Chain A
């Protein structure tokens, strides 16, 4: 019975960290940024990461996007061990499996909204890149802003273009770093709604780094990071 099977199927893990450590070089020698974090995030989950400044939240997000390499431990993204993966392979993995939303939007200023959204699809060689980009923009309510350049859009609209760009390739993982940090509260609320809806529609795991505990609580799971250590996992706590 398909429905029964679906109801009892175990959630698919899309991010798996095992004793992940990150140490970076500084003028004073090596600094331990992440001190052995182990966790699993499954498809469809929404995870909020909280913690004070310098705790290692953003570093954890960079590890999860394959932008930073572990000093020790292992990491799997979308069932692929990326611990030893080369830079171009990681780029291809990000292109196909990981969507990222930044606090500062990071749109390409010389490209229109639709061109910005089409970039990852074009990189993947998708011949329908522009059509799919248009669909993604319509899905975030920007069907009327397709040919606008970033500086012709409001902050909230820019962030929604960034969300459309992140979800357009249908990633399994959606990472967001303080996505409302540059927006006023009303616009931020609107953007967060869009982000959650987009992640749900794509069936992607949403990982959200934030300082806002209220925002984190909207996630199905909350992680607390302090001094490079995972000090609280609501999923573990609940179980």
Chain B
């Protein structure tokens, strides 16, 4: 007799340690091919004909560093399940600590390879400091508080150009002490250099003057971040994050210290944006407060969800797709569409078509894509296995997981197993009605009812 549905443990999509060897080898091959392509890209991209939407090397750098940011936010949102709408705050900390340590503003010129360590540490500390007051807050309160931090921190750097602290008549700082350069930002920041002589000069400089070098540096950081994230995901800490994400109370009762675990999620997530802040500050050789606003936080969140929360490959793909579409594909398509639509508008006299540019509809297109994606593929482009199973699993138990408590799903699984047990116990031999069948099932109703229901 067939069991009605397969138990949850046998769901497809769950990682099976014995089956994955070939798959992981294939993945490694794909990764190596991608790396080789990316390393070669600065040399052959000129050869790609103009009629294809090819990203410039600088666009590729933006794609790569947004991927690192998405990996960092993925720790907070995807692994630990804490909705952070102000991720840009940590990015500010990274960028400005780089600017403080390697620019003329304080006359410090520390080597970038040292600065990056400091920037990561500063961002991680900021993560702990900003995370600490939010620990008691539940989901959406957390979202608004992090959003608040994301607004406060950029405003601080915008306004702290005339600091004047006078306590009890003693001038502690100031008057008009310029800490952050105000709206003008800090410019120029020293670029990372390596003392390797070659055709490029006495030393190798990684700034926007040397796109290929900067691309390799960014890719190196991305690969590093990817492996760190993977080790974190599979570590004890990573499992603790996911336990908290699924059910905080249950996680706490299993002995997980939720305070430390959540703070570590904030700190480690923030440290990646410190890394990117240090890279971007040095690569652009300047930081401006205007480049850190809410839309950055939201874009990174969208990348994480677009790719698939909790899935490392997913968030990288999400970041690549989103940056590529907005920076390369839309301007490229606009080159074809804008002209005809404008002339069509002139012929028909429709006012807003005369000045049509596709890039102006960037947000509209993204908005529609986001809503459609959420409706038709809420798990993202390359989802993590568990989440995919949760959203597209089979059977009653998986359906119960849909938007409800996991406890309901577990209860449903138990119920199914019971019913299945009854069916198996009673099915063969078609026990006569009234016979004391199914002794193992407590509270089993009359035999024919169950048997009828299960067959």
Q: Do A and B come from one complex?
A: no
